[in-house]
Structure 1
Amino acid sequence: MNISVILAHPDSNSFNHAIATRVVTALEHSGHVVRFHDLYAEDFPPNLPSAEIARTADLPEVIANHCREIGEADGVIIIHPNWWGMPPAILKGWVDRVIRPGVAYEFIEQDQGEGVPLGLLKADTALVFNTSNTESEREQQVFGDPLETIWRNCIFDLCGCRDFHRRMFNIVVTSSEEQRRQWLDEVQTLVTEKFPRNVT
């Protein structure tokens, strides 16, 4: 299987990077083809220019490559911190430029964009791993867990990827090394369960 893994965290020593390393290792161990992108390390350009808005726009090579990869992916894994109830801006820009009409979704014939899109993603399964310094109860009661709504409802469900799973690890800032090891084991278990070993 082709699995796209997208990481968005500027600190290479972050727990997000540790998660990404465990994800990629688990996938490769199971025989999958991994297309991994560390958006900050690659200096991904997040700003969507007006010339790219049209479905038929000519895309820069870097964006066209991301679009091709996400369109071919059998699974998608996103890793990022919870910043103000949102993904980091670079990841939002990736969504703006890559999760686009003709790649991830399409409007039905005669629809001018006012209806409900048809999902086009080939991927059946999507995993999102988040880190946070907010207690789970406060996240739910005070903030309403906006990341769940963004990724499950606004992006993956809309684009046709129905098997969605998200895991938030918190509170990271006060976590022990042992806690982080346990969390990484959880990551490996979930990745292995959702993307089992290739049998040819």
Structure 2
Amino acid sequence: MSTKKIIVLNGHPGETSLSKSLCDTYAASAKAKGHTVRYHDISAMQFDMDYGQGGYKNPKPLEPDLEAFLADLEWADHVVVATPLWWGAIPAKLKGVFDRALLPGRTFDTRNPNMMGVPAPMLTGKTARVLLTSDTPPLLLRLIYSNAIKKIISRQILGFVGVKPTRFSSFAPATDAKGKKVEGWLQKVAGLGAKAA
């Protein structure tokens, strides 16, 4: 099995969370199998989440934590993001990472649009795994909400910059999960990490 370069992003803003446990488990398992892992935890990242008024022509300079994240995103073969589902979307600080770091000239090329006017993606050749925790069971997420969160992450964020396919692993209901259920989830994630899947 060939080894991969993996970036892991814990998208939960709390210092402790199920998302963090999932990321830690994935990273440890991947490293044990010889994969190279670079880990980012948004609870420790320091940056201004507000994109501001500058626009793409005059963006704010990236803070060191965002520059390190973007450099590792460019470096990686495989992208792993853990996020809770909050109010049908991702946490504000995780959205801030994407708003600030996914910039033209680094992640997409506005000078080279396709026939529909969509900029050319610059992070092609990478795959992704999203570890999604929620209290909404996957079946209801699909039937009631048409998997909106999955479409946003896979198509409008990661897919837009060329990272695809994006595969999802859902863990629900998550708030009161304990014991054997969490252990089973961690074992599943350890298996994914070992395969860099």
Q: Provide structure 2 residue ranges, at least 5 long, that are not aligned to the other structure.
A: none
- Tell me the distance in 1 between the aligned counterparts of 2:75 and 2:94: 19
* 2:99 corresponds to 1:66: no
- State the match for 1:124 in structure 2: 126
- Tell me the distance in 2 between the aligned counterparts of 1:132 and 1:61: 30
Q: Which amino acid aligns with 1:147?
A: I
Q: Which amino acid aligns with 2:27?
A: V
Q: Report SS of the residue matched to 2:144.
A: helix
* 2:176 corresponds to 1:174: yes
Spell out the pairing of 1:75-114 with structure 2 (5 A cutoff): 75-109=78-112, 111=113
Q: Which amino acid aligns with 2:82?
A: I
Q: State the TM-score, normalized to the length of structure 2.
A: 0.86
CA shift, 1:61, in A, is 4.1
- Tell me the distance in 1 between the aligned counterparts of 2:100 and 2:180: 38
- Tell me the distance in 1 between the aligned counterparts of 2:167 and 2:157: 13
- State the match for 2:135 in structure 1: 133
- State the match for 1:115 in structure 2: 117
CA shift, 1:31, in A, is 2.1
Q: Which amino acid aligns with 1:31?
A: G
CA shift, 1:86, in A, is 0.6
- State the match for 1:154 in structure 2: 156
- Tell me the distance in 2 between the aligned counterparts of 1:186 and 1:42: 27
- Tell me the distance in 1 between the aligned counterparts of 2:77 and 2:55: 25
- Tell me the distance in 2 between the aligned counterparts of 1:8 and 1:161: 17
* 2:11 corresponds to 1:15: no
Compared CA separation, residues 122 and 35, structure 1 to 2 (3 A): farther
- Tell me the distance in 1 between the aligned counterparts of 2:121 and 2:196: 21
* 2:81 corresponds to 1:53: no
Q: Which amino acid aligns with 1:168?
A: S
- Tell me the distance in 2 between the aligned counterparts of 1:82 and 1:43: 22
Compared CA separation, residues 122 and 29, structure 1 to 2 (3 A): farther
- Tell me the distance in 1 between the aligned counterparts of 2:15 and 2:67: 26
- Tell me the distance in 2 between the aligned counterparts of 1:193 and 1:77: 13
Q: Is the Cα contact below 8 Å between 2:124 and 2:164 reproduced in 1?
A: no
Q: State the TM-score, normalized to the length of structure 1.
A: 0.85
Q: Report SS of the residue matched to 1:51.
A: coil
- State the match for 2:189 in structure 1: 187
Q: Provide structure 1 residue ranges, at least 5 long, that are not aligned to the other structure.
A: 196-200
Q: Which amino acid aligns with 2:187?
A: D
Q: Which amino acid aligns with 2:170?
A: M
In percent, how many aligned pairs have the same letter? 25
Runs of 4+ in 1 over 4 A off after TM superposition: none
- Tell me the distance in 2 between the aligned counterparts of 1:182 and 1:88: 25
Spell out the pairing of 1:35-50 with structure 2 (5 A cutoff): 35-50=38-53
